[in-house]
């Protein structure tokens, strides 16, 4: 189907929004509890795997001599975990060949990230890689072999470059407006003159997309990028303390921004987008946006960012939103017909886990009764999550502060 602004907008604020509004806010009955025995097995596995990795991290050679052996040992350990861990269970949804291709693809992507922007901290690298992983998951759904894609790399890197800049309180409104105008002009094919390193690199990322999608051949990607920019600019209203947004305004911002981000990922897969595809990927992007807001309730509350979760501080309100989110993601996956049901169900199962783990991480904003209820569906116990900030076993070694990027470079070299 031919994508246009009106059909995207109508689907987003019509069909997808209605699925959200129609979703019950009661706790769902379709979930499967995880037994205490299975939780215990998962915890023991994580403890052991974590101890093994911590030992390897601490043994990272200070000098380059000996690093090759360290790298081989670490990669073998990562491969073993991918092939046997049961918490996420990726090996149950992807065969060995596909896992190998995925790992190779991530290696290439990480090398490109480090080459293009060596100044990026680990958190920002993670932002880019998470978006690239979403693209890789969509390829797997369609039975397409994962391979490095310059355009999706450029798009994925725009996340840490644009979102963090636009969200930064240290950047003036005027600077943000100038930055957005340069991006808009670049997307429109107009001549631009970026004058800061940040602006220059942002334009280079957009050029990577242009190199794979000549403007005269297909303008769809430029329309989607322009709409994404509109959505990002619209989301800046959430940071405006002087104007109180209504719940519907907050919802619409999340629908549009989240939906468009994943629709672009889907476009880069290179298969025709049907009406069902359009609905599903707009909805899935919205889900990921709300799940992200669920993780960030405390930070958004402190920063006075206006999301659905900060509109009302009552625990019951937060619980109703999480319930709706569970029903919503269950509904959109049940409506979406896909040949690769095994991988689709794998994604859905991990969506539930993402919701519960995010709610657990924001536990102070939920009642004790509710957190005890969701604990039944987590792959580990709440007590386990609470140790060392959750999933971080053991004490941190202060000497490792400056080592993570060096270790990453060694692993991907």
Half-sphere exposure of 88 (CA within 13 A, CB side): 9
Name the pTM for this structure.
0.92
Question: Helix H segments across 13-118?
Answer: 17-22, 36-58, 67-84, 90-93, 96-116
Rounded Cα distance between 172 and 5, Å, is 30
Cα angle 132, 127, 325; round to 5: 85
- Each residue's pLDDT, cut to its tens digit, for the chain (413 residues) gives 899 999 999 999 999 999 999 999 999 999 999 999 999 999 999 999 999 999 999 999 988 888 999 999 999 999 999 889 888 888 888 888 888 888 899 999 999 999 999 999 999 999 999 999 999 999 999 988 877 889 999 999 998 998 888 878 788 889 988 999 999 999 999 999 999 999 999 999 999 999 999 888 889 999 999 999 999 889 989 988 889 999 999 999 999 999 999 999 999 999 999 999 999 999 999 999 999 999 999 999 998 899 999 999 899 999 999 999 999 999 999 999 988 889 999 999 999 999 999 999 999 999 999 999 999 999 998 888 876 444 443 444 544 556 899 999 999 99
Q: Are 352 and 374 in contact (CB under 8 A)?
A: no
Residue holding tokens 């009302």? 312
């Amino acid at each position: 189907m031919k994508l246009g602004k009106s059909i995207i907008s109508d689907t987003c604020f019509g069909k997808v929004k209605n699925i959200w509004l129609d979703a019950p806010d009661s706790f769902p009955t379709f979930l499967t509890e995880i037994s205490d025995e299975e939780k215990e097995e998962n915890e023991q596995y994580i403890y052991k795997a974590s101890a093994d990795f911590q030992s390897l991290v601490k043994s990272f050679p200070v000098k380059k001599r000996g690093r090759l052996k360290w790298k081989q040992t670490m990669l073998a350990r990562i491969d073993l975990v991918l092939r046997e861990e049961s918490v996420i269970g990726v090996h149950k949804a992807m065969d060995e060949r596909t896992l190998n291709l995925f790992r190779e693809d991530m290696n290439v992507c990480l090398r490109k990230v480090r080459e293009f922007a060596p100044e990026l901290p680990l958190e920002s690298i993670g932002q880019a890689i998470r978006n690239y992983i979403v693209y890789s998951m969509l390829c797997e759904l369609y039975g397409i072999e994962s391979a490095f894609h310059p355009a999706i790399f450029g798009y994925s890197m725009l996340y840490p470059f644009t979102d963090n800049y636009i969200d930064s309180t240290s950047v003036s409104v005027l600077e943000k407006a100038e930055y957005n105008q340069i991006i808009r002009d670049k997307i429109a094919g107009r001549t631009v003159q970026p004058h800061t390193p940040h602006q220059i690199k942002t334009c280079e990322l957009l050029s990577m997309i242009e190199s794979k999608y000549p403007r005269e051949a297909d303008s769809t990607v430029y329309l989607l990028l322009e709409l994404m920019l509109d959505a990002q600019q619209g989301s800046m209203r959430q940071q405006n303390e002087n104007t109180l947004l209504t719940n519907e305004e907050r919802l619409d911002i999340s629908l549009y921004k989240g939906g468009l981000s994943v629709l672009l990922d889907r476009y880069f897969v290179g298969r025709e987008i049907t009406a069902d595809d359009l609905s599903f990927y707009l909805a899935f992007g919205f889900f990921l946006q709300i799940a992200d807001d669920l993780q960030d309730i405390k930070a958004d509350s402190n920063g006075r960012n206006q999301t659905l979760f900060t509109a009302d501080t009552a625990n019951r309100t937060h619980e109703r939103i999480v319930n709706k989110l569970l029903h919503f993601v269950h509904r959109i996956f049940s409506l979406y017909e896909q040949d690769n049901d095994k991988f689709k169900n794998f994604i859905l199962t991990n969506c539930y886990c993402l919701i519960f783990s995010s709610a657990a991480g924001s536990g102070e904003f939920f009642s004790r009764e509710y957190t005890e209820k969701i604990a039944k569906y987590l792959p580990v116990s709440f007590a386990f999550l609470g140790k060392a900030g959750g999933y971080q076993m053991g004490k941190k070694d202060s000497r490792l502060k400056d080592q993570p990027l060096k270790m990453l470079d060694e692993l991907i070299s």
